[in-house]
Structure 1
Amino acid sequence: MSVDMNGSRRFLIEERFNITGRGTVVVIGETTELPVGKTLRATITRPDSSKVTTEAFKEWFIRREQQPLEKEAYLLRGIEKSEIPDGSLVEIEVVK
């Protein structure tokens, strides 16, 4: 679910987890036109309205259950899972 706030789209983070040696991954429930393989900027807005910005890279999150489930995921550098509480939103932008 995306939230339109002040003209920018922020996405509710549906899942988050760490990948040892790589970073923290956040999963959103929508598909965007953002590029794979490019450096992106992610701004996390926490439920207390505090924000943190970090580098992000788009990947695909595929879970094999009864039917495959494919969602967009973003690998974030320099932030730990513990810094992204439940209810946080993420805004992803292309770095120019």
Structure 2
Amino acid sequence: MESRSYAIVEVFDITHRGTVVVIDDVIGLSGGKPVRVRITGPDGAAFDAVAFVERLLRRVPTVIEKTALLLQNVPIDDVSAGATMTLLDWHDR
């Protein structure tokens, strides 16, 4: 299994669910299964988390799809846009 890294382009909170990170790509992960990730801030500080895929689809005026991951037990203040997310157990599923 190889790891893959992506720039985090947006971070937001879903009330009563948690922190979501958005990457500027659509990747081959299916929802419902946990994914281990490492978040590395611009300062180099890093931590590991468990995430679940969330699909984002916007129509403005054309369809824009991006992959988002809901981080488990990670406060929004711990992640910023500009950080990097590495999928630690990447495999197409």
Provide the TM-score with structure 2 as the length reference: 0.84
Q: Distance in 2 between matches of 1:14 and 1:85?
A: 9
Equivalent of residue 84 in structure 1, options 76, 79, 82:
79
The residue aligned with 1:16 is 11
- Unmatched 5+ residue regions in structure 1? 1-6
Shifted more, 61-70 versus 13-22: the winner is 61-70
Kindly state the Cα deviation for residue 34 of structure 1 after the two structures are TM-superposed: 2.3
Structure 2 residue runs of 5 or longer lacking an equivalent are none
Amino acid at match of 1:24: T
The alignment's TM-score, normalised by the length of structure 1, stands at 0.82
Q: Which runs of 4+ in 1 moved over 4 A?
A: none
What is the total number of aligned residue pairs between the two structures?
89
Residues 1:25 and 2:23 are matched in the alignment: no
Q: Does 1:45 align with 2:40?
A: yes
Identical residues among aligned pairs (%): 37
Distance change (3 Å), C-alpha of 1:49 and 1:39: same
Please state whether the residue corresponding to 1:43 is helix, strand or coil. strand
User: Which of 51, 58, 70 is equivalent to 2:53?
Assistant: 58
1:73 pairs with 2:75: no
The two structures, once aligned, show a CA RMSD in angstroms of: 1.8
